[in-house]
């Protein structure tokens, strides 16, 4: 049977009725419950029913309200993020206030299987993972990473991937998580945008970075052959992996190898609340640069609320092909320079000159040339070597121009040593604060799930909680004035 659409106003009436008239034994609203009640009161989740109506059968018993199930899962993350769904169902029975705020009658609560059925309807794919469980035996990788060292990218892989993405930029690939992002953008991001919490929608600044998600201590798999029983230790037969989308990668912050995912997150850099915009789960071994290429193309194909103007990235993304990709997307890159060599290079163009690894021209006498202004219309920068250097007899001295089109990596549109660059780039750390909120405050890694489907459910739900928190903080004083209209006196 199809679920009945319950408007958000009916949910508010239900909550107000129970909070004002149904207080009895076991139902107590203490001071810390007020922010939780307000966050759910102001968040309209009723559209999730319309989104999933085709996923339900025309026959059978009447299903649970999808909005109430999602609301209940958000309460779990806001109150006990380390708790599992089984224990949460018990918590709803012990604490009726959570059941009321979810939209359930205290004596009529869903079971654990009802929550999982709801999650599966948000995941249109048949399999809960992106890759098949049956895979060839994975070989161990070379170890010996140094302290703080990032996992290296395969030479040429980023460049080949960028060229392929640019050729197929107009071809949108359907992903199982598209249902989640569609709801997230239409009913969560749009609210944050209307409240002005994402920054200037006509010229958005984004920040991107990857972070490890540990799912298990080691990869778990079962053999599909009897080679070991026959005394054959090393065979090439397929194995059955319980987490086929995960593999082993290097965590430079924890300085150890881990098994799980590489989460690449894109956030609104100008947001005062460090709000996330788009998540993508990659295998743990994937490099930040490769993850960015895939994530930014997918995001550009799906994001419809504004225009992206700038992209702020750390030195792990400092590859010339990434600059070309962002320029192709009409995005100005702000990437910290990763000095990989101590040797000078020769500039492109008719007037060739030596360029230092930091992008500073070197005069024939071997001295660095001083900057002498910028031409923002032509995207070029002027350099001047004075007479004291002795490399020329001209009265004005030697001059040289560097153009962005000659080398977009070294000669950026906004010079790296300018105050404007420093002012914009300092907002890159917003992505790290956003990832911290997900991993530390909301305990993302405590999920303990075995499928990519459930990791995406947990991840998107945490992102919704981050936006709801921002809504509440930005309107806290206004909602506190309405406390007496929503619930009785707070204990």
Ramachandran angles phi, psi of 411, nearest 5°: -110, 80
Q: Let me know if 11 is exposed, middle or buried by CB neighbors in 10 A (0-12, 13-18, 19+).
A: buried
Burial of 130 (0-12, 13-18, 19+ CB in 10 A): middle
Q: Rounded to two decimals, what is the model's pTM?
A: 0.90
Question: Comparing 21-30, 180-189, 226-235, which segment has the lowest mean pLDDT?
Answer: 21-30
Same domain, 161 and 113: no
pLDDT at residue 375 tops 80: no
- Higher-confidence residue: 244 or 360? 244
103 and 67 in a single domain? The answer is yes
pLDDT per residue over 124-133, tens digit each? Answer: 988 999 999 9
CA 164, CA 157: separation in Å to the nearest integer?
A: 11
The reported pLDDT for the residue numbered 224 is 87
| pLDDT on residue 367 | 82
Mean pLDDT of 162-185: 89
Q: Check whether residue 230 and residue 291 sit in a common domain.
A: yes
Q: Residue 128 in contact with residue 452, Cβ under 8 Å?
A: yes
- pLDDT for 26: 44
Please check whether residue 250 lies inside any domain of the structure.
Answer: yes
- Tens of pLDDT, residue by residue over 138-168, are 776 555 555 555 655 666 888 899 988 888 8
228/202 Cα distance (integer angstroms): 61
What is the Cα–Cα distance from 220 to 267, expressed in whole angstroms? 33
Mean pLDDT of the chain: 87
Q: Is the per-residue pLDDT at 488 higher than 60?
A: no
pLDDT score of 30 more than 70: no
CA-based R_g, the chain, Å: 27
List Cα–Cα distances, 80 to 30, 85, 92, in angstroms.
Answer: 16, 11, 12
User: Is 458 within the bounds of a domain?
Assistant: no
Q: Is residue 242 part of a domain?
A: yes
Which residues fall within 8 angstroms of residue 278, CB to CB, at 6 or more apart?
181, 265, 266, 295, 298, 299, 302, 303
Domain holding 23, by residue range, is: 8-121+474-486
The pLDDT, as a whole number, for residue 95 is: 87
Sequence-distant (≥ 6) Cβ neighbours of residue 158 within 8 angstroms: 287, 289, 290, 293, 319, 321, 322
Share of the chain above pLDDT 90, in %: 54
Q: Within a domain: residue 468?
A: no
Q: What is the pLDDT of residue 25?
A: 47
Based on the fold, state whether residues 101 and 183 are members of the same structural domain: no
Q: Distance between CA atoms of 268 and 126, rounded to whole angstroms?
A: 33
Tokens encoding 259: 């098994």
**What pLDDT, on a 0 to 100 scale, did the predictor assign at position 374?**
80
Closest by Cα among 33, 127, 109 to 483: 33
Categorize the per-residue pLDDT at 324 as very low, low, confident or very high, splitting at 50, 70 and 90: very high
Q: Higher confidence at residue 367 or residue 112?
A: 112
At residue 71, the pLDDT reads 97
Identify whether residues 115 and 98 lie together within a single domain.
yes
Please state the three-class secondary structure of the chain as a single string: CCCCCCCHHHHHHHHHHHHHHCCCCCCCCCCCHHHHHHHHHHCCCCHHHHHHHHHCCCCCCCCCCHHHHHHHHHHHHHHCCCCCHHHHHHHHHHCHHHHHHHCCCCCCCCCHHHHHHHHHHCCCCCCCCCCCCEECCCCCCCCCCCCCCCCCCCCCHHHHHHHHHHHCCCCCCCCCCHHHHHHHHHHHHHHHHHCCCCCCCCCEEEEEEEEEEEEECCCCEEECCCCCCCCCCCCCCCEEECCCCCEEEEECCCCEEEEEEEEEEEEECCCCCCCEEEEEEEECCCCHHHHHHHHHHHHHHHCCCCCEEEEEECHHHCCHHHHHHHHHCCCEEEECCCCCCCCCEECCCCCCCEECCCCCEECCCCCECEEEEEECCCCEEEEEECHHHCCCCCCCCEEEEEECCCCCCCCCCCCCCCHHHHHHHHHHHHHHHHHHHHHHHCCHHHHCCCCHHHHHHHHHHHHHHHHHHHHHHHCHHHHHHCHHHHCCCCC
The tens digit of pLDDT for each residue in 36-56 reads 988 999 999 999 999 999 999
Distance CA 368, CA 331 (A): 30
Q: Are residues 217 and 300 in the same domain?
A: yes
Lookup: tokens for 480: 């506190």
Q: How confident is the model at residue 491 (pLDDT cuts 50, 70, 90)?
A: very low
Domain assignment present for 140:
yes
Angle at 135 between CA 132 and CA 140, to 5 degrees: 130
Question: Shortest CA distance to 210 belongs to which of 253, 162, 146, 158?
Answer: 253
Residues 178 and 297 in one domain: yes
pLDDT for the residue 349: 61
The predicted pLDDT at position 21 comes to 72
Number of domains in the chain: 3
| Domain identity same for 207 and 302 | yes
**Does residue 461 belong to any structural domain of this protein?**
no
What gap in Å lies between CA 250 and CA 36, rounded to an integer?
38
Residue 267 within any structural domain of the chain: yes
Specify whether 281 is located in the same domain as 158. yes
Same domain, residue pair 107 and 203: no
Q: Is the dihedral of CA 136, 142, 147, 151 positive or negative?
A: negative
Residue 147 lies in a domain: yes
Q: In this structure, are 18 and 100 located in the same domain?
A: yes
Verify that 443 and 329 share a domain, yes or no.
yes
Query: Torsions phi, psi of 382, nearest 5?
Result: -100, 135
- Strands 239-241, 221-223: pairing kind: antiparallel
Question: 361: which strand partners?
Answer: 355
């Amino acid at each position: 049977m199809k679920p009945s659409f319950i408007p958000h106003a009916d949910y508010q009436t239900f909550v107000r009725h129970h909070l004002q008239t149904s207080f009895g034994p076991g139902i107590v609203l203490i001071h810390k419950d007020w922010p939780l009640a307000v966050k759910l009161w102001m968040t309209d989740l009723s559209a999730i029913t319309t989104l999933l109506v085709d996923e339900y059968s025309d026959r059978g018993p009447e299903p649970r309200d999808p909005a109430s199930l999602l609301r209940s899962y958000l309460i779990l993350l806001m109150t006990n993020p380390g708790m599992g769904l089984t224990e949460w169902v018990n918590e709803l029975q012990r604490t009726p206030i959570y059941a009321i705020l979810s939209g359930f009658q205290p004596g009529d609560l869903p079971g654990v299987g009802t929550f999982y059925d709801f999650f599966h309807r948000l995941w249109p794919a048949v399999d809960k993972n992106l890759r098949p469980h049956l895979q060839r035996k994975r070989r161990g990788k070379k170890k010996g990473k140094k302290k703080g060292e990032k996992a290296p990218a395969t030479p040429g892989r980023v460049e080949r991937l960028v060229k392929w993405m640019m050729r197929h930029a107009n071809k949108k690939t359907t992903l199982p998580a598209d249902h989640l992002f569609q709801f997230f953008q239409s009913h969560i991001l749009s609210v944050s945008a209307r409240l002005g919490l994402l920054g200037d929608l006509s010229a958005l600044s984004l920040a991107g970075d990857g972070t490890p998600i540990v799912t298990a201590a080691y990869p778990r798999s079962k053999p599909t052959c009897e080679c070991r029983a026959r005394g054959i230790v090393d065979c090439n037969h397929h194995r059955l992996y319980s987490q086929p989308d995960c593999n082993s990668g290097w965590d430079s912050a924890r300085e150890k190898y881990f098994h799980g995912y590489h989460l690449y997150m894109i956030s609104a850099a100008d947001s005062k609340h460090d709000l996330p915009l788009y998540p993508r789960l990659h295998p743990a071994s994937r490099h930040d640069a490769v993850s960015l290429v895939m994530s930014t193309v997918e995001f550009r194909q799906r994001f419809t609320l504004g225009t992206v103007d700038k992209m702020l990235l750390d030195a792990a993304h400092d590859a010339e092909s990434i600059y070309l990709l962002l320029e192709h997307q009409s995005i100005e890159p702000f990437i910290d320079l990763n000095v990989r060599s101590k040797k000078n290079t020769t500039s492109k163009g008719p007037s060739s000159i030596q360029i230092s690894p930091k992008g500073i021209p070197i005069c024939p006498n071997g001295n660095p040339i001083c900057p002498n202004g910028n031409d923002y219309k032509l995207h070029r920068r002027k350099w001047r070597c004075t007479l004291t250097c002795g490399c020329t007899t001209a009265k004005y001295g030697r001059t040289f121009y560097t153009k962005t089109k000659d080398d977009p990596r070294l000669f950026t549109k906004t010079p790296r040593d300018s105050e404007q660059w420093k002012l914009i780039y300092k907002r890159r750390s917003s992505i790290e604060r956003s990832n911290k909120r997900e991993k530390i405050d909301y305990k993302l890694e405590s999920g303990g799930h075995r499928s990519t489907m459930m990791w995406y459910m947990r991840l998107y739900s945490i992102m919704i909680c981050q936006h709801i928190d921002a809504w509440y903080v930005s309107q806290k004083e206004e909602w506190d004035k309405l406390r007496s209209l929503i619930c009785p006196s707070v204990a």
